[in-house]
Chains A and B, each alone.
Chain A
Amino acid sequence: MNATPAIVTEGLGKRYGAKWALRDCSLAVPTGRVCGLVGANGAGKTTLLRLLAGLSRPSTGRAEVGGQVPRDDSEFLREVGYLAQEIPLYRRWSAADHLRMGAAMNAEWDDPWARERLDGLRIPLEQRVGTMSGGQRAQVGLVLALAKQPSVLLLDEPVAALDPLARREFLGTLSEAVAERGTTVVLSSHLVTDLERVCDHLVVLADSRTVLADDLDDVLATHRLLVGPRRDISAIERDHVVLREERTHRQLSVWVRLRGPLVDPNWDVQELGLEEIMLAYLSLREPAAAGPQPVEVTA
């Protein structure tokens, strides 16, 4: 695995009028990683992906994707695959028409692979995509994005509208293609189980800011729930990052990201699942208080 990040952003922000859709987003995704992008609705996931795809220009900060600044230039565009949330396709065209379009508009188009892939998924090439199921359309969209052989693939909630079986097939196609080619993927999703299945890296956005960007194993290894009798937690706050605390009249629960070994033996330390970790971040009142996390390039 290459240690050079495929995606780097520094203070990236996007403002529409007076409203910030994305603010102060700094992250790095190492090459070859499959990165889950998580955040509440309106947290800026779509905005971030569009900025990375070069479909939108940042108001502040900068981004680099595959060593290039996202822009309207075929040198850049050929390196990036992008699949929008609504999976736009020409409804009256067949899948074969879309493949022909891809071949006409991309220099490095892997047509045999695309046809084989669609065959394998039993998607009829000559059927209009408007009459296909949502799962089939999503597969066609994904195959189109992959057949141009991008080095970075950006997927905006591609499985949100799919049933569990279609979701599994979609993610199967994705994992397989990505494993073959070493493509770097950023995949936004609400569905934690999907993320756990395919991702090895995690970025969490809350209130238009990055609150977490790290290796998934690291994330799982460093987040803990501490439970114990009520007491002062300033020592914990000094050494670690407190995400959330909950007090009942006798008991105290603290969600923390450990920054080192936990010295106080009086805590009952519990491991946290990905979903609980994400909920802890998404319910942060003031994200700035807990982070911004330093950018760490872990490979």
Chain B
Amino acid sequence: MSWLLWRQHRAQMAIVAGLLAVFAIPVVVTGRHLSDGLVACRASGPCGGLLDHYNAMLTSVNLTVAVPLIFGIFWGVSVIGRELETGTATLAWSQSVTRRHWVRVKLLWLFGTTLVASSALTVLVTWWSNTRNALQESRFSGLPFDLENLSPVGYSLFSAALGLLAGVAWRRVLPAVATTIAGFVGVRMIVELVVRPHYLSPVYRLLPMTGPRDDPPGSWVQNNEMVHNGRVIGGNIIGVPEACSQGIGKVDLNQCMNAHGYRVRITYQPASRYWTFQWIEFGIFAALSVVLVGAALVVLRRRDV
């Protein structure tokens, strides 16, 4: 069985290993420049412009957000679905090895290689992003959360499982690929936009209208609103109270409004929750993967070849 797997999937594995190696070279080179540069400029002054010359690299790293789809499309769909389409599953199933065993070994290969490859990628990306995180403290919000540490591994397993189910259900590569892409993008967006903000209830903080308004470092700021005596003022245009409306500058306006009970309220997830969120995100996608694999097994068993 292991020979069969090797013979069948060696090209796919070689391609992914090659792509990883090609990606690793610029990541390591520029990553070392950046970390050296960070040490140097920390000693001498502000580091604001450090990333300016690394736009291409930043873009490349950001594009790895789509890599999990590759595991779904090229590995998940093909591992069993393509064999059903071409009929070679029947060839494999008329040898003396049982179907159950064949499916088990195939799944082991799919998720083993996906785990290894996506872990290798996330190690590279996370390491490279150290400098960006040090400068911008942004790993908790937006794209960086999806690119670093555990979440991309969860997405990759999910994508592979989705491709597996789509391939088994459609028995055709093309519609299975389309289903995998649509399903992956859809679920990722729902989780990111609707579910993730509520993993833990956010923390609120009132800030005076005067003085610095820096966000808590490393946190994920979800909202930023004006409140008056504890009441949220909706809308974008805020009526300036009459007392403050006559001929004063911006600083005075803020002081005036502060004195009249206006505050800024930020809603955020503190930086200390980063790993909790990473684990929850990973857990959700890992659990979805298990459900999808279970469904794929049921479909395989229910339907005849």
Contacts and interface: CB of A to CB of B under 8 A. Distances in A.
A104 B3 contact: yes
Contact of B96 (A90, A107, A144): A107
B205 interface: no
Interface in B1-58: 1-4, 7-8
A142 B230 CA distance: 82
B106 interface: no
A91 B86 CA distance: 9
B10 to A, nearest CB: 11
Contact of B305 (A50, A78, A93): A50
B93 A55 contact: yes
B91 interface: yes
A148 B95 contact: yes
A145 B1 contact: no
Interface in B266-305: 304-305
B223 to A, nearest CB: 53
A77 B87 contact: no
Interface residues of A, number: 33
Contacts of A107: 96
A131 interface: no
A69 to B, nearest CB: 15
Contact of A88 (B4, B8, B86, B304): B86
Interface in A55-105: 55-57, 72-74, 77-78, 80-84, 86, 88-91, 93, 97, 100-102, 104-105
A53 interface: yes
Interface in B66-109: 86-100
Interface residues of B, number: 23
B88 A89 contact: yes
A81 B95 CA distance: 8
A74 B304 contact: no
Given A77-B95, A148-B95, A56 B4 contact: no
* Interface residues of chain B: helix, strand, loop or mixed (majority): helix
A40 B97 CA distance: 33
A100 B7 contact: yes
B97 A90 contact: no
A81 B86 CA distance: 19
A100 to B, nearest CB: 7
Interface string A101-145: 110111110000000000000000000000000000000000011
Contacts of A100: 3, 7
A50 B98 contact: no
A80 B4 contact: no
A94 to B, nearest CB: 10
A77 B4 contact: no
A25 B94 CA distance: 23
Nearest to A51: B304
Given A74-B96, A81-B94, A90 B305 contact: no
A50 B305 CA distance: 9
Contact of A56 (B1, B7, B95, B305): B305
Contacts of A77: 94-98
A139 B260 CA distance: 92
Contacts of B97: 74, 77, 105-106
Contacts of B95: 77, 101-102, 105-106, 148
A55 B305 contact: yes
B98 A90 contact: no
A78 B7 contact: no
Contacts of A78: 96
Contact of A148 (B1, B87, B96, B305): B96
A59 B88 CA distance: 25
Interface of B: 1-4, 7-8, 86-100, 304-305
29 contacts: A53-B94, A55-B94, A56-B304, A56-B305, A72-B100, A77-B94, A77-B97, A78-B96, A81-B94, A82-B90, A82-B94, A84-B87, A84-B94, A86-B87, A88-B89, A88-B90, A89-B91, A90-B91, A93-B7, A97-B7, A100-B7, A101-B3, A102-B95, A104-B2, A104-B3, A105-B4, A105-B95, A145-B94, A148-B95
Q: A-B pairs with the 8 shortest C-beta distances?
A: A88-B87, A105-B95, A82-B94, A56-B304, A78-B96, A104-B3, A106-B96, A88-B91
